[in-house]
Structure 1
Amino acid sequence: MEVRVPGRCPEPGPVTQPSAGIRDAGFAGTAGDHLAALTRGRIAMERRTFLKTALAATTSAMVMPGLARAQAGKPATIAFFVKNVTNPFWKACRIGAEKAGKSLGVTVETVAPTKPDNIEEQTRLVEDWIVKKPDAFVFVPVDYKALVPSIQKVNAAGIPIVNYNNRMTGVDLVSYIGSDDEVMQYELCKYLFKTMGGKGKIVHIDGVPAAITAQNRKKGFERAVKETPGIEVLASQPGNYRRLPAVQVFENLMQRFPVIDAVVCANDDMAVGVAEALASAGRGDKTRVTGIDGIPDATAAINAGKMFATADFSGHDQAHLAVTAAVRKLRNQPVPKEMILPVVIVDKGNVKGFMKTPEERDPPDWNKYAAGRA
């Protein structure tokens, strides 16, 4: 009986002369030569198999750093990106992400450009963090097109990515978590126009034109205007999602237009600035101002009667859910391909329920959002 030892070839048997059939087939040499050749072939094949196995193991370790860290007893690290550190919305995002990290036992590192919404700086930051090899990226692009090549490099490095707030295409994502910006601005404008009796003169303060959120919110605004013939748009100009630029733009518009019935702003930071400019000019009680985000300054302004309404974009909840999605991916738990938060309009009637700071807000219910029941 022949016994085979794993990883070794059987010893060749006695040498015999090749049969006539072998000789006639054109094979040269003895049967011993053929057996030796077969032995060498088998050793080469086993060596190739070993190398393939080793390569697969190395690749697995490269693309699953979270698993490697978990096996080493170290907490996973999530690189959490924001667009800037000046807008209160991104502060809410950071707090939501840190809360999720703390509850899930992972380290959340916040990454932000020093220049607000700067494409070149965010590109460098992405490349720096690829070298640092975090377990996952939770990413929002300052420009959803310009950052595609950088995120493709993250894909090539095998680092999983959860995209939140500004949807990206052309890259491999674990999940997208955010809101439908067009629907949100559309619903908010329809509500505003209805309270105005379907007529009036309005100004639109846009966000960063290159941002997908601003583009989609503008589409929602334009759709609502088109459906309401009594609304006259006096001007539409960008405020770049920041308070000071928006105030500067709006102060010029106030000089041009003595009557402005409403101002639709693409976010709350700009809306709060516009409301303050109107109050300073003595026109605060004559113009309705809307924003989007539900930041504390905006809910306080609504409560004080200085702003008319906002939509709760909840950076806190988006970020909390996005970090949770990244951790679930690392732990091989199911994650939906997208989670879309519902539109919630906040005005004087319900603002009390939205006046908590990000630190005070309760964490979102993952199961409810994942099931689409939020």
Structure 2
Amino acid sequence: MSTFIKDFIEREKINRRNFLFASAYGLGGAAALGALGPSMARAALTDPTIAWSYRNRTNPYWNEIVSGGEAFVESLGMSRDALTHLINEGSSEKSLADVKAILAKTDGNLALAIDTNDAPNARPVVEAVAASGAYVSTLWNKTDDLHPWDFGDNYVSHMSWSDEGPAEQTARILLEAMGGKGGVVHLGGIASNNPAIERLQGLKNALKDYPDVELLAAEPADWDTQKANQVMSAFLTRYGDEITGVHCANDTIAYGVLEALRAEGIEDMPIVSYDGNPQAVQLVADKKILATVFTNPHWGGGITASLAYHAAIGHFKPSEEPKEHREFYGPTILVQPDDALEFKANYLDSVPTYDWTDFWGPSNGPIVYK
């Protein structure tokens, strides 16, 4: 476990150094787009560029997202290299600049799948895409007042996950393992990210039924292993033995937490996480993590790209679809020690083959706003 986590942290350091020298569709490469206007949707695009905009590939979750995008591209008879990668390294500014640059380069002949990095960045991305006549499907992050049906056909779809309920499930597993008493800390994602907000809320919901458990602290770790390691080390310095459980917003955060605990000689701290990455599932099987939640990123990445592409080429008309086909939840599966190895064999060691034209098959209903 320790070797894997140290290797993971080192890969992240290398990736950050490389990013400083990266220039793929950077800020200087984009001609400024004109003033945003009404949708310029064409009847259909011909051989559109297919692009995925995401944080980075060193994160196992995002590697699976992009692997799904590559699998979709291969299903079209293309090489996986035909997928254009827009890597933003967690920068919303770079995310938007990359989108504007590729729109200028392709003259809007684009099918884009994207996680906009944070919710406020979704609107300028969508507006730029719609103004150019391209097509976009978003994943995870957008504001509640931004909807695909407000942009005709160009904003094809948005998929997120109903994280609050599953995060509450994992929290209850954690709080029970703590014996219903003690102190818990939460390490979250980027503070403005929808999943980070919902996963913390899931913990807070569960805590209402555990009056003898105190939430000692909740701080963002930005979905990052290194930052999680630093945050957890600071928690241990500040709270020491008061900490009897850790609620992690994703698996890569849990890796940093485990390393911080190991450095202090702590091997049996109850921990839960989220995402269902292969390494985390193995840690669940080994009872180093109590539970994680699988969101099927391979399917999510492939179907998001597929929706944008098939709308772009005129395979279907988004504006004629019901709203539940334009904003919907992805699937989730709770993974615990008793079923971790079986789950790993069925979903991770051998990735299922998906029909990329079954756009909503595994989805989990329309997004509900509170």
Which band: TM-score by shorter chain? 0.7 to 0.9
SS of the residue corresponding to residue 174 of structure 1 reads strand
Match of 1:272 in 2: 255
- Is residue 324 from structure 1 mapped to residue 306 from structure 2 by the alignment? yes
SS of the residue corresponding to residue 240 of structure 2 reads coil
- Is residue 240 from structure 1 mapped to residue 222 from structure 2 by the alignment? yes
Given the two structures, how large is their TM-score scaled by the length of structure 1? Answer: 0.74
Which consecutive unaligned segments of at least 5 residues does structure 2 have? 1-39
- Is residue 180 from structure 1 mapped to residue 139 from structure 2 by the alignment? no
Question: C-alpha offsets along residues 160-181 of structure 1, whole Å, 9 cap, x if unaligned?
Answer: 2111122444353311123112
For residues 225 and 214 of structure 1, what CA distance do their matches in structure 2 show? 17
Match of 1:109 in 2: 84
SS of the residue corresponding to residue 146 of structure 1 reads helix
Amino acid at match of 1:130: L
Q: CA distance change for structure 1 residues 296 and 318 in 2, over 3 Å: closer, same or farther?
A: same
Q: CA distance change for structure 1 residues 359 and 157 in 2, over 3 Å: closer, same or farther?
A: farther
1:371 shift after superposition: 8.1
1:197 shift after superposition: 3.8
1:224 shift after superposition: 1.7
SS of the residue corresponding to residue 219 of structure 2 reads strand
SS of the residue corresponding to residue 55 of structure 2 reads coil
- The answer as to whether partners of 2:109 and 2:133 remain within 8 angstroms in 1 is no
Residues 154-163 or 323-332, more deviating: 323-332
- How is 1:215-294 mapped onto 2 (pairs within 5 angstroms)? 215-259=197-241, 260-285=243-268, 287-294=269-276
- The answer as to whether partners of 1:93 and 1:318 remain within 8 angstroms in 2 is yes
Question: C-alpha offsets along residues 111-145 of structure 1, whole Å, 9 cap, x if unaligned?
Answer: 112xx211221121011011123431111111210
For residues 150 and 141 of structure 1, what CA distance do their matches in structure 2 show? 8
Match of 1:369 in 2: 362
- Is residue 193 from structure 1 mapped to residue 175 from structure 2 by the alignment? yes
Give the fraction of aligned pairs with identical amino acids, expressed as a percent.
Answer: 26
Correspondent of 2:92 among 88, 107, 119: 119
Q: CA distance change for structure 1 residues 292 and 122 in 2, over 3 Å: closer, same or farther?
A: same
For residues 365 and 353 of structure 2, what CA distance do their matches in structure 1 show? 16
Correspondent of 2:41 among 49, 60, 63: 63
For residues 152 and 353 of structure 1, what CA distance do their matches in structure 2 show? 44
SS of the residue corresponding to residue 163 of structure 1 reads strand
Match of 2:330 in 1: 341
Which consecutive unaligned segments of at least 5 residues does structure 1 have? 1-61, 70-74
Question: C-alpha offsets along residues 186-223 of structure 1, whole Å, 9 cap, x if unaligned?
Answer: 22212322344433321111111121221222222222
- Is residue 170 from structure 1 mapped to residue 163 from structure 2 by the alignment? no
Alignment size in residue pairs: 303
Amino acid at match of 1:361: V
Match of 1:51 in 2: none
Q: CA distance change for structure 1 residues 112 and 234 in 2, over 3 Å: closer, same or farther?
A: same
RMSD across aligned positions (CA): 2.5
Given the two structures, how large is their TM-score scaled by the length of structure 2? Answer: 0.75
For residues 190 and 343 of structure 1, what CA distance do their matches in structure 2 show? 17
For residues 126 and 369 of structure 1, what CA distance do their matches in structure 2 show? 29
Q: Which has the higher contact order (CA 8 A, sep 6+)?
A: 2
SS of the residue corresponding to residue 56 of structure 2 reads coil
Match of 1:23 in 2: none
- Is residue 350 from structure 1 mapped to residue 332 from structure 2 by the alignment? no
Correspondent of 2:62 among 67, 71, 90: 90
Amino acid at match of 2:137: V
Name which one, 1 or 2, has greater alpha-carbon Rg. Answer: 1
SS of the residue corresponding to residue 368 of structure 1 reads coil
For residues 274 and 189 of structure 2, what CA distance do their matches in structure 1 show? 11
Q: CA distance change for structure 1 residues 363 and 199 in 2, over 3 Å: closer, same or farther?
A: farther
- The answer as to whether partners of 1:268 and 1:295 remain within 8 angstroms in 2 is yes
Match of 1:145 in 2: 120
For residues 371 and 290 of structure 1, what CA distance do their matches in structure 2 show? 23
Amino acid at match of 1:100: F
SS of the residue corresponding to residue 263 of structure 1 reads strand
Residues 91-100 or 77-86, more deviating: 77-86
Amino acid at match of 2:61: F
For residues 183 and 98 of structure 2, what CA distance do their matches in structure 1 show? 43
For residues 194 and 363 of structure 2, what CA distance do their matches in structure 1 show? 23
Q: CA distance change for structure 1 residues 166 and 112 in 2, over 3 Å: closer, same or farther?
A: same
Amino acid at match of 1:369: P
Correspondent of 2:134 among 159, 172, 184: 159
